[in-house]
C-alpha cells in the first residue's frame, strides 16, 4: 500500500501498523543536488547546527560526532 504525506511517499503492507511504513520517494526538487525538497535540506542543516551546539556541553554527543567525522574523512580518502 502506498501513502503520501505532503511531498513524501511511503509504502507499507496492507493492514500493517502505520509506524512500519518506509519512505520510498518524494517529489523531485530541481533546486537541490539530490532532488529532496529544499525545506528538508534547510531543516537538516538546522538540526546539524543544533547538534554541534549541544555537543559543546555533551561529551557523549561530541565523541559520537568525532567518530562520525573520522569515518566521513576516511571514506573520502578510500571508499569502503
What ranges do the domains of the chain cover?
1-36, 37-80
Counting residues of the chain whose pLDDT is more than 70, the rounded percentage is 94
Whether residue 31 contacts residue 24, with contact meaning beta carbons closer than 8 Å, is answered with no
> What is the Cα–Cα distance from 31 to 15, expressed in whole angstroms?
37
The residues, any chain, with a CB within 8 Å of residue 32's CB and separated by 6 or more, are: 38, 41
Compute the distance between CA of residue 61 and CA of residue 9 in angstroms, rounded to an integer.
Answer: 32
pTM of the predicted structure, to 2 decimals = 0.57
Residue 57: all three cell numbers together = 556541553
Summarised one tens digit per residue, pLDDT across range 42-53 is 999 999 999 999
Per-residue pLDDT band for 28 (boundaries 50, 70, 90) equals confident
Q: Residue 59, by phi and psi: left (phi above 0), alpha (psi -120 to 50) or beta?
A: alpha
Amino acid at each position: 500500500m502506498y501513502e503520501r504525506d505532503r511531498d513524501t511517499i511511503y509504502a507499507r503492507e496492507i493492514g500493517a501498523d502505520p509506524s512500519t511504513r518506509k519512505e520510498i520517494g518524494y517529489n523531485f526538487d530541481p533546486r537541490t543536488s539530490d532532488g529532496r525538497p529544499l525545506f528538508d535540506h534547510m531543516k537538516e542543516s538546522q538540526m546539524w547546527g543544533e547538534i554541534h551546539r549541544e555537543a559543546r556541553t555533551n561529551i557523549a554527543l561530541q565523541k559520537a560526532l568525532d567518530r562520525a567525522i573520522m569515518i566521513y574523512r576516511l571514506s573520502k580518502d578510500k571508499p569502503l
